């Protein structure tokens, strides 16, 4: 994402924030990577951490004190952060895997009793706010959550995004808005709640069958929602819904209200009424707005579970989408290989990868946008897990090595996310060894069978086992949930050693998840192979003596480059899996491609 503003220098912004802190008697200020909806990708208005620090990664917490400034982020972003923070006086505070709240411990240890820490409660998750408050109170440190210092110093701060809403309609919207509201109300009743407040944008987009363009790459819109038994209210900026759309919403008992009125609506709830909120998906500011006397019931948003479990109709649309996405990739890779083989070509850069792969997808039916910014990393850049090429810093793809390409698309019938690695020039035995180990990990989890309800973080070790056996590892999770024409990162399931295996992470039929192990050699190369999979019943789907079991159906359709393989490392059953996968890819994609793309597909799906 682009930097929100360059109207003042980084040093001037930090000086401005310190001056504001001094005016209000604040000793340290926390600026999280968050908005009032706890989004992963932020509208420009809430990109304050990036505006202040210059660090552009999507995860991080900035803390400023009188004589200290630091950004806390995890291993996926260390290399990037070191580059972006260099010379700024802002320290990179490295977060080990599974220690995302390390900055709270730092504050408790480094602030003195009686000092004051400030953070805007409107962008602070309730669960984190509770941990922060407890840790600081135990040391006699005061916490202020009633002030947004950014508003005082960010003179050209962007306003609310105003992109119009549109309906996600049939046939791609397999369930009607009325049906989804009825299911949500039934879940509310089962929990003893008369009302339900929702802030997370993907939950709202799912529930109301609406989409928008307020956040880069994710087709969501900025809003809050209050669902009652006989009506629902959407709180959003004026002018985002046409009169025709408003009329259709009213037919389903949905009315619109100003975005800023959401907190007031919570404050006006009648005493002794009951309200359902998800403590992981609501800010401390919104929780504090709830009127006294209201019985607050804390549980996961019913829509979070509902949207993660794709219906049979949605799964069918995703399969069709994968065929179109795979055909676009055949076109792209055919072009790429021809370019790499042409000695007369102009220099090929990492930037060209994004342009060409997006153009190929845009020619496919029902394409809307990329699902995230394409990652194209050649050699050492491929070892930077969230690398993004820019006009100021990118590599020319020439010579020998490996090119990692991680990309995806938003289609009306699904969201895609795929990573492939291709050889450039001559590659070494070490390249092939690492590539084969990563593929072994991906195949191991793709082939797994496990009891229904297995907590998803526990599956992570299956993919790592072949990589661990070689004394190697990787510093990110193995898989994340994926939405249905929605966020490319979706919960509640997550296959990661840093995630707690809580009950809500259980794997259920219909969940779409990535499988993406990797090996990264800093300064040399990076390898990641990623497919999306669908959790489906194993066998005949009937419970056996030990209950129900699930397996994964591979959804992604794109060849895996066998030129990078060390075949001596593969067992017969692994060769069988790879050849069967390539046979399916060829069968499913051939009807959608012709010319050079067809020839490339046929070549790259030959059995090994």
Q: How confident is the model at residue 198 (pLDDT cuts 50, 70, 90)?
A: very high
Helix-, strand-, coil-residue percentages of the chain, each rounded to 5: 40, 20, 40
b/e per residue 112-151 (b: at least 16 CB within 10 A): eeebbbbbbbbbbbbbbbeebbebbeeeebbbbbebbbbe
pLDDT at 3 over 80: no
Mean pLDDT across the chain? 94
399 class by beta-carbon count within 10 Å (0-12 exposed, 13-18 middle, 19+ buried): exposed
The pTM (predicted TM-score) of the whole model is 0.92
Share of the chain above pLDDT 70, in %: 98
Query: What pLDDT does 357 receive?
Result: 97
Owner of token pair 């806390």 = 72
Mean pLDDT in residue range 122-146 = 95
**With contact defined as beta carbons under 8 Å apart, do 550 and 513 qualify?**
no
Mean pLDDT in residue range 333-349 = 92
Digit-coded pLDDT (tens) for 246-276: 999 999 999 999 999 999 999 999 998 999 9
Query: What pLDDT does 540 receive?
Result: 83
**With contact defined as beta carbons under 8 Å apart, do 75 and 475 qualify?**
yes
Mean pLDDT in residue range 408-429 = 98
Digit-coded pLDDT (tens) for 159-177: 999 999 999 999 999 999 9
Query: What pLDDT does 541 receive?
Result: 78
> Phi then psi for 559, rounded to 5 degrees?
-60, 150
Query: What pLDDT does 144 receive?
Result: 96
Q: How confident is the model at residue 41 (pLDDT cuts 50, 70, 90)?
A: confident
Q: How confident is the model at residue 97 (pLDDT cuts 50, 70, 90)?
A: low
Query: What pLDDT does 79 receive?
Result: 82
The residues pairing with 406 across neighbouring beta strands, listed in sequence order, are 375, 419
Domains in the chain: ranges and CATH: 10-153 (3.40.350.10), 166-306 (3.40.350.10), 309-604 (3.90.230.10)
pLDDT at 4 over 80: no
**Of the given ranges (95-104, 183-192, 319-328, 588-597), which has the lowest mean pLDDT?**
95-104
The sheet carrying 479-481 orders its strands as: 449-451, 549-554, 531-537, 512-515, 479-481, 490-495
b/e per residue 467-505 (b: at least 16 CB within 10 A): beeeebebebbbbbbbbbbbbbbbbbbbbbbbbebeebb
Relative to beta strand 418-424, strand 414-415 is unpaired
pLDDT at 539 over 90: no
**With contact defined as beta carbons under 8 Å apart, do 504 and 299 qualify?**
no
First to last CA, the chain: 41
Mean pLDDT in residue range 356-385 = 96
**With contact defined as beta carbons under 8 Å apart, do 333 and 557 qualify?**
no
Please count the helices (runs of H) and the strands (runs of E) in the chain. Answer: 18, 28
Cis peptide before 492 (omega within 30 of 0): yes
Q: How confident is the model at residue 235 (pLDDT cuts 50, 70, 90)?
A: very high
pLDDT at 92 over 70: yes
Q: How confident is the model at residue 46 (pLDDT cuts 50, 70, 90)?
A: very high
Owner of token pair 């038994």 = 229
Share of the chain above pLDDT 90, in %: 90
Mean pLDDT in residue range 439-458 = 97
Digit-coded pLDDT (tens) for 51-70: 999 999 888 999 999 999 99
* Non-local CB neighbours of 10 within 8 Å, separated by 6+ positions: 52, 53, 54, 88
């Amino acid at each position: 994402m682009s930097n929100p503003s360059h109207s003042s220098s980084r040093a001037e912004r930090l000086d401005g924030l310190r001056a504001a802190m001094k005016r209000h008697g604040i000793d340290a200020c926390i600026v999280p990577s968050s908005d009032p909806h706890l989004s992963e990708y932020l509208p420009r208005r809430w990109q304050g951490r990036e505006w202040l620090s210059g660090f552009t990664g999507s995860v991080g917490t900035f803390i400023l004190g009188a004589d200290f400034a630091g950004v806390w982020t995890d291993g996926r972003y260390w290399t990037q952060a070191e580059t972006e923070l260099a010379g700024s006086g802002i320290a990179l505070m490295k977060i080990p895997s599974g220690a995302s709240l390390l900055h709270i411990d730092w504050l408790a240890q480094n602030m003195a009793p009686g000092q004051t820490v400030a953070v805007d409660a409107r962008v602070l998750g309730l669960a984190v706010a509770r941990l922060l408050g407890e840790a600081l109170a135990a040391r006699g440190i005061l916490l202020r959550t009633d002030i947004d210092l950014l508003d005082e110093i960010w003179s050209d701060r962007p306003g609310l995004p105003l992109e119009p809403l549109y309906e996600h309609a049939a046939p791609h919207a397999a369930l009607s808005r009325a049906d989804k509201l009825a299911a949500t109300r039934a879940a509310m009743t089962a929990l003893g709640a008369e009302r339900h407040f929702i802030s997370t944008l993907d939950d709202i987009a799912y529930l109301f069958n609406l989409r928008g363009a307020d956040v880069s790459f994710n087709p969501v819109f900025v809003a809050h929602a209050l669902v009652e038994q006989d009506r629902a209210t959407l709180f959003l900026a004026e002018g985002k819904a046409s009169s025709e759309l408003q009329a259709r919403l009213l037919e389903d008992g949905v009315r619109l209200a100003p975005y800023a009125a959401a907190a007031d609506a919570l404050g006006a709830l009648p005493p002794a009424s009951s309200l359902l909120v998800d403590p992981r998906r609501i800010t401390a500011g919104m929780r504090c707005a709830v009127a006294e006397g209201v019985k607050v019931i804390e549980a996961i948003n019913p829509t979070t579970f509902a949207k993660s479990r794709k219906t049979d109709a949605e799964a069918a649309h995703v399969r069709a989408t994968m065929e179109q996405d795979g055909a676009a990739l055949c076109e792209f890779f055919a072009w790429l290989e021809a370019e790499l083989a042409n000695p007369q070509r102009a220099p090929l850069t990492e930037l060209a990868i994004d342009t060409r792969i997006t153009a190929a997808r845009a020619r496919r039916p029902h394409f809307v946008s990329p699902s995230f910014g394409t990652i194209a990393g050649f050699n050492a850049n491929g070892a930077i897990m969230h690398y993004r090429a820019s006009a100021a810093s990118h590599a020319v793809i020439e010579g020998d090595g490996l090119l990692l390409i991680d990309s995806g698309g938003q289609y009306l019938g699904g969201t895609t996310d795929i990573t492939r690695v291709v050889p450039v020039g001559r590659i070494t035995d070490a390249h092939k060894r690492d590539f084969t180990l990563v593929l072994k990990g991906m195949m191991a989890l793709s082939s797994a069978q496990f009891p229904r309800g297995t907590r998803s973080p526990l599956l992570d070790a299956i993919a790592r086992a072949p990589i661990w056996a070689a004394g190697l590892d990787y510093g990110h999770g193995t898989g994340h949930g994926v939405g249905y024409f929605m966020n490319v990162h979706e919960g509640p399931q997550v296959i990661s050693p840093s995630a707690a295996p809580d009950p809500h992470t259980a794997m259920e039929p219909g969940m779409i998840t990535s499988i993406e192990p990797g090996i990264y050699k800093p300064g040399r190369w990076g390898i990641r192979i990623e497919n999306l999979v669908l959790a489906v019943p194993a066998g005949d789907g009937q419970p056996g003596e030990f209950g129900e079991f699930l397996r994964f159906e591979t959804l992604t359709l794109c060849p895996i480059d066998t030129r990078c393989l060390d075949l001596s490392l593969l067992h017969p059953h692994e060769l069988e899996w790879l050849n069967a996968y390539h046979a399916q890819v060829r069968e499913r994609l051939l009807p959608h491609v012709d010319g050079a793309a067809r020839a490339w597909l046929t070549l790259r799906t030959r059995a090994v």
